[in-house]
Amino acid sequence: MDVQVRKGDSLWYYAGLFNLPLPLLMDSNPSLAPEALQIGQTIKIPGWRTSTYTITQGDTLWKLAGEHRLSLDALFLLNPDADPDALQIGGSLLIPARVSIRIVNGNRPYTSAVLSEDLRALFDLYPFIQRSGIGQSVMGKELQELRIGRGNEYVHWNGSFHANEWITTGVIMQFLNDYLLALTNKEPIRGMDVQPFYNRITLSIVPMVDPDGVDLVLNGPPEGEFGEAALAINEGSRDFSGWKANIRGVDLNNQFPAKWEVEAERKPEEPAFRDFPGYQPLSEPEAVAMAELANQRKFSKMLAFHTQGEVIYWGYEGLEPPRSMSIVKEFSRVSGYEPIRFVDSYAGYKDWFIQDFRQPGFTVELGQGVNPLPLEQFDEIYQETIGIFLASLYM
């Protein structure tokens, strides 16, 4: 929601008028000097929208403010030309409305187009979200990182490293929406006040690492050379439900230089629907983008969300720091998932992250069954995972 600055207005005043944390207002308007607002400047108010109201017999601004639980000055601010003593029947007023319900529905086939649609809506409603393009997929789809918060400590989440594990993106996006709602409405999540996290932590999210692969699984092969190559790898079958790889048949979570040679010796030697680690580590643009992001941000903690098994992998060659154990114990307590320290698998993002940064890294395997997990599991998975999302912020 946009408002125009009047004489005497300030961000501090708007924070009180709309019951918003001041840091959210400041970060929604980063180009403005908070102590030197100019009359007529546009201010973005996060977490609020406007609706158009048609004036009827007996309406007054005082009556409408009471009915909509608003300060009278909020109506004056949005309707500077309205004469409070002479409202015209049939005329219109703008009514500010706080957004208190989700605009993201993660419980649906979550393609890259759905992700883009939801991101546009979130950026419009919550302009304090920072976003960066961190690279492109093989087919040129932009890989986006979202950042929420102003702390020096970076906590990272990612989803859909594997194409047929696209449900992880929906889970991440729905929780992100709940986190934004809690911040702008000053409400807790599961009884926990999340406001302190905004100032202490910057949350980094790459919701979909493999958009080409996700779209292949959900939409079928695209027209052109990439679709034809994928069909050939899939032996002509148009059923891509078992496809884990990127569009070129490379398993992105086998792409990282952490015993990559071990995986290469025992995995497919050429492009395949799953498990092919590439002809060399970091050959794929999606993997390169994720490696460069970690090198740039220096995450204090990293969570990669996968499916399935209801387990959390948290070790690599004994290089994980001691605090990883206490963190994963809390993840297990709040979710019921089983922590597993070591597994005979290498070259994953979690493995490389622990190896190169010696910080806590986790692969969280959501749900149970055969990938792609059915959407009937979404609500249960989401409720199990909320605690992990929160714990990643406070541990």
HSE-up (13 A, CA, CB side) for residue 343 = 17
Classify residue 263 as exposed, middle or buried by CB count within 10 Å of its CB (0-12, 13-18, 19+). buried
User: Does 365 participate in catalysis according to the annotation?
Assistant: yes
**Which residue out of 365, 376, 380, 384 is catalytically annotated?**
365
CA 15, CA 175: separation in Å to the nearest integer? 25
Active site residues: 365
